[in-house]
Amino acid sequence: MQKNLLDDRIKPFRLVRYFTIVSLAAILIGAILLSILNVHWAKSMHLKKSEDYALVLIENLNHQIFLQFVIPVVLKFGKIELSNPEQFERMDTIVRSTLHSFKADMVNIYDINNIISYSFDKNMVGKKNLGGTGFEYALTGSPTSKLVQRGDFWMIPLGFPKESWLITYAPLRAERQFLRITGPILGVIEIVQDISEDYQSIMHYQTRVLITCTTVMSMLLIVMIIVVKHGETIIHQRNLEQLQLKEKLAHAERLSSLGGMVAGISHEIRNPLGIIKSSAELLKKKAAIQDPSNTIPDIIVEESNRLNNIITDFLNYAKPREPHFILCRIEDIIEKNVAFLATQLEQNGFVIERSYAENLPELTLDPDMTYQAILNILMNAMEAMPSGGEITIAATMDERGVHIDILDQGDGIENDIMNQIWDPFFTCKEKGTGLGLGIVKNIIESQHGTVGITNRSDRSGVKVHIEIPVQPEKDNH
């Protein structure tokens, strides 16, 4: 319920945050889409420009081949045979001189039977049926181009090809001014341009645009989150303080009512309980003479003591006494606990390892109440290890104060009940009032300290952490 109240009060700030995040995300997506469209437009323009460039080269090459190769070779040899070394060298000289200083990485010339008659790569000469659909389309009289890209399987779909080539096919025609017919197609010219560098430049531009947009949006998002988070924190703290004050007031009222009730009935219970215990002890002496095997008096005494301890727990929790502060050493209190439990530890197979930091300061504490709190924790640790085990106690110090860690090797606490362990009367034991940890918490907090319990991360068991300031603030009382 408290959480719901806090959420309701900071909901307006969360709505502002969500709206801003959505707006920034929409702007970022729009900027990314716009940059992608711009890059696509730039690619299309560059591709069209490269295709026009290739067509101009082919037209010029067509003119030079016809004037400087076809006519002279036909007049001299009677027919064109590029298998003739002299004719091939003449063709190679004309093509290379024509395309000198122009961007053309490969030139192939096909005859009308789709056989490569000339190529920059002499190993390609004579190969058949390599022109594909581009060759077939060029034979109809119309030039065509295709884009070939290579790269890893993820590079091409993302628009980052490693290599890109533009392959242009155009018909090789006879010049009209020398013939009365409309320039028959003599073959097909194929020009390959390596446009990888140009495409990479476009990709780098796209990357810079995306990085810039992402950086700007991220900075705006961070600033927005900081501002809204700060506002939420302030409201949350104020609401939490109000709720804590209400909880403390309600808790104090409940304790006051419970304390009055417990104080009233405890007197009524303890008087007959004392009589029952005394009578049982007297009966035990008489029964020992007549029937030594009779254990009923022992059971009555034991259960009377247990009932008395339960009443004591109720009183300690409902009406805790005010601490009597004196200077004392925490290690002395711990050693007193260990000495008190020495017999029980030895009989049940427990070992307590202690570790104290050097130069631990004296603390302003109530030694008796602190002794009781640590004793409750040690008893819980022993009950968590019915077969015995090791309990570790470590006392250290930093700028915040003295830290006492008590670790056991039990089964730990289930996560779904971790938040309930401090609730009064909550217990997982078959016997117990569920007030032990509540008493520990009251004692430590009454001495301006804090206490917490967590499951150990390295192995099974729990870790109880107590922090006590070296110079606590003076109590208002």
Percent of the chain with pLDDT over 70: 77
pLDDT at 87: 84
Task: Quickly state the pLDDT bin for 474 (edges 50, 70, 90).
Answer: very low
Please report the pLDDT score of residue 406 as a whole number: 92
Q: What's the pLDDT tens digit per position in 58-76?
A: 888 888 888 888 888 888 8
* 180 — pLDDT class (breaks 50, 70, 90): very low
> Which pLDDT score is estimated for 262?
62
The pLDDT assigned to 9 comes to: 53
Among candidate residues 286, 292, 382, 279, the one with its CA nearest the CA of residue 337: 382
425-433, long-range: CB < 8 A, 24+ apart: 429/383, 431/306, 433/310, 433/313, 433/314
Q: What residue ranges define each of the domains in the chain, with the CATH number in brackets?
A: 2-207 (3.30.450.20), 322-477 (3.30.565.10)
| Number of other CB atoms surrounding residue 77 within 10 Å | 12
Residue 357 and residue 359: Cα distance in Å, rounded? 7
Cα–Cα dist 295/458, whole Å: 46
- CA–CA gap between residue 306 and residue 276 (Å, rounded): 13
Residue 339 has pLDDT above 50, yes or no: yes
Tokens 């015995």 correspond to 388
Do 186 and 19 form a contact (C-beta atoms < 8 A)? no
**DSSP of 147-184, one letter per residue?**
EEEE--TTTTTTT--SEEEEEEEEEEE--GGG-SSS--
Judge whether residue 258 has pLDDT over 90. no
pLDDT tens-digit readout, 51-61: 888 888 888 88
Q: Does residue 50 surpass a pLDDT of 70?
A: yes
